[in-house]
Structure 1
């Protein structure tokens, strides 16, 4: 079997490694236990996390053992990485709820049966720590001068870095030590923005345990222009179908720019690289074939083949004049609501086509809203029974966002 390091490198995952040759040799010769951490800052994983899950899946397919670490303890502090301001503090109850959501979602992508993978929560060891003992055992190994050179802290120094956040690196580093002691975990993996935190953990384990451990980071999910992927006007692209429907999820990938298709196919699907390169080389109108494959494959991994087929058929029904029209996303309103009349701005928000009324007003004013293929020209337009066509309406925002309005009698 091909070394997983070569697979990850060929597909464009690897950003930085602490000891490249040693890591490659280790992954090629033995079953390695590694971990990736997920801080439960929301009640669903998003597409940025999905890239990390794909790494885990590739590693597991090549015989290595993942530890999915839920950061129930570290979330109490909050990672300062990539933030201009301090993260909003969450209650224990919210963190516990979010942690349970993460655990359920991660189990869809990774096989936890027969000790093939482990899921742990760092609240189990972080919340009951003796502070003085922690300072003596862990804090003594960290140089403040050196910590301040880390990117995650440097970017916050001007605005003000709290002592609370300053402890985050120590806590994450302690996670690596605990996982090494309990499960012989030899590697920490994560997004490239976690490089400083990973180095902290690696050095702590080497100093405390005199063992060889390693770190590897992966490219962040960005466009060819360097912008973060996974955001729309409506917010983040979530893996929870209740927060981002399979159709919306499918459409997001169907609409990525031409220059991002090959990279997304390599990172976010299991298609062989020969096929990835073939699809990525398509030009002009043919690139739409590659985008349709990308959308279907990613949706299939996240939501299952049945939902991917429904999303594909809905897109084809709307945009290609083929496919099952009953798979088009729909939203129900009562006949009483319609009788009373609903402002177009309110309907756009109710149907989920815009996140707010101000966004809805802007969309109408810019000529981006249509009802039954007729452009809506006024933000004061009131939708009523006269707008029904065969007891339904088609509401559209922009070129790609459709929803069918049905009447719930």
Structure 2
């Protein structure tokens, strides 16, 4: 899961990575605030002063409650990357222990996953995180797993060494706890104890590696404060917590909801093509803010894109930049280029035959579709996929030259036949009528009945 944590690094002047060179940084807090990455902090003035004094060690936690990270985790990874580029030392903590418990939900108790499942998901999240941060070079990121310091902890030691620093009244006053207590289901002692486990993570990272700052989403504020208070009470040290805002859309709808659910970062759960399209479809009212939050483009670059929105709104230059940068960050340049080519090819502006199989299948996944055997009269295939209303309309469209297979005009007229050579990767053929009516034909190789 990456490099193991070692001794705290020697403090040196804070730096920023700029065009291939490490240079002395300005106020990183100003940059983060401009990018919409700061919601609240325990003491912003003191934190700003500490960040300006020299490198600080900071961590964010990622619980394996699903087999993939999603867009909410991406905000924390982008924040850690900004801090690392500014010369600070970052730790990504994967919750092999806290994932066995689960952060309390607002309304209902979580179903506990098996130890085997949590272990597998912990490893998967670790692999995902490793691609976002620099684990080499002169300022390497580190990976941690809180199961390392909880697996052998006895209940007696937990209660004596950690539990004694917590007051029940304070724990009950946490917003999420209060809401659950007011619900019909209530809250179990298991989930009630989650805030103690997360607080213990901060204490351990501070003791072992000098970690002074924890970041998280604004919905994690209570859990972050648990760690700050535990470090203060147990070791009489001052540490900091800082949250990022929950990302919302300007129209009031929830960010990150798609036809398939959350915006997952794992390509097996959300294809790079679908991921690219999610960001490309960002509303004009949201795109500049999301460029600041989710990309590393400079202020001047974003200002130029904002001007382009006014001068040439239909070009969607800002959306293209956002979709490219975030998809490349998550999936790499090659997958991003395939996603762009797929979008172009669907509407005849590229060679769809050049797409790899996974991108092609992802690109046609949301289109009307039908399965057909080959060879088959194209008239029958057009009716089956619903791109025409009946055989007469199909014959007329073919006679007029208005049907395209894989962006190639069908020349055979009403007698044209769909054969196996027209199925890309042996699986799917793209059907287009005119400029915008699209559908997908899938080859049916099942045994005839």
Query: What band does the TM-score fall into relative to the shorter chain?
Result: 0.7 to 0.9
1:291 paired to 2:319: yes
The residue that corresponds to 1:323 in the other structure is 350
Cα 1:374–1:52 change in 2 (3 A) is farther
CA distance in 2, matches of 1:179, 1:64: 15
Q: 1:203 aligns with which of 206, 229, 245?
A: 229
Q: Name the SS for the 2:39 alignment partner.
A: strand
The residue that corresponds to 1:362 in the other structure is none
Deviations 1:219-276 (A, max 9, x none): 1222124443222111222111122111111000011222110111011111112222
Cα 1:69–1:405 change in 2 (3 A) is farther
Q: Name the SS for the 2:59 alignment partner.
A: strand
Given the two structures, how large is their TM-score scaled by the length of structure 2?
A: 0.75
Residues 221, 229 of structure 1: 8 Å contact kept: yes
Q: Name the SS for the 2:289 alignment partner.
A: helix
The residue that corresponds to 2:89 in the other structure is 65
Q: Name the SS for the 1:309 alignment partner.
A: helix
Cα 1:152–1:163 change in 2 (3 A) is same
Given the two structures, how large is their TM-score scaled by the length of structure 1?
A: 0.82
CA distance in 2, matches of 1:140, 1:100: 33
**How big is the shift at 1:292?**
1.2
Deviations 1:72-109 (A, max 9, x none): 100111101x4311111100100010011111111101
Residues 269, 298 of structure 1: 8 Å contact kept: yes
1:303 paired to 2:331: yes
Residues 258, 287 of structure 1: 8 Å contact kept: no
1:313 paired to 2:336: no
Q: Which runs of 5+ in 1 are unaligned?
A: 342-369, 377-384
CA distance in 2, matches of 1:11, 1:313: 30
Q: Name the SS for the 1:216 alignment partner.
A: strand
The residue that corresponds to 1:49 in the other structure is 73
CA distance in 2, matches of 1:224, 1:287: 21
**How big is the shift at 1:400?**
10
Q: 1:179 aligns with which of 192, 205, 213?
A: 205
The residue that corresponds to 1:106 in the other structure is 129
The residue that corresponds to 2:261 in the other structure is 235
Q: Name the SS for the 2:316 alignment partner.
A: helix
Residues 330, 403 of structure 1: 8 Å contact kept: no
Residues 280, 287 of structure 1: 8 Å contact kept: no
The residue that corresponds to 1:367 in the other structure is none
The residue that corresponds to 1:40 in the other structure is 64
CA distance in 2, matches of 1:65, 1:375: 62
CA distance in 2, matches of 1:395, 1:99: 42
CA distance in 2, matches of 1:22, 1:270: 26
The residue that corresponds to 2:3 in the other structure is none
Residues 79, 168 of structure 1: 8 Å contact kept: yes
Larger Rg: 2
**How big is the shift at 1:401?**
12
The residue that corresponds to 2:111 in the other structure is 88
CA distance in 2, matches of 1:72, 1:303: 25
Matches within 5 A, 1:86-165: 86-113=109-136, 116-159=140-183, 160-165=186-191
Between the two proteins, the alignment pairs up a number of residues equal to: 366
1:272 paired to 2:295: no
Deviations 1:287-322 (A, max 9, x none): 622111111111111111121112112112224x42
Residues 372, 441 of structure 2: 8 Å contact kept: no
RMSD in angstroms over aligned alpha carbons?
2.9
CA distance in 2, matches of 1:211, 1:16: 20
The residue that corresponds to 1:78 in the other structure is 102
The residue that corresponds to 2:220 in the other structure is 194
Deviations 1:39-79 (A, max 9, x none): 01111111111111000100000001111000010011110
Deviations 1:170-214 (A, max 9, x none): 000000000000000001111111100111110100111111100
Between 1:218-227 and 1:70-79, the stretch displaced more is: 218-227
Residues 331, 405 of structure 1: 8 Å contact kept: no
Q: Which runs of structure 1 show a deviation greater than 6 angstroms over 4 or more consecutive aligned residues?
A: 385-389, 399-403
CA distance in 2, matches of 1:223, 1:401: 30
Residues 200, 230 of structure 2: 8 Å contact kept: yes
The residue that corresponds to 2:48 in the other structure is 24
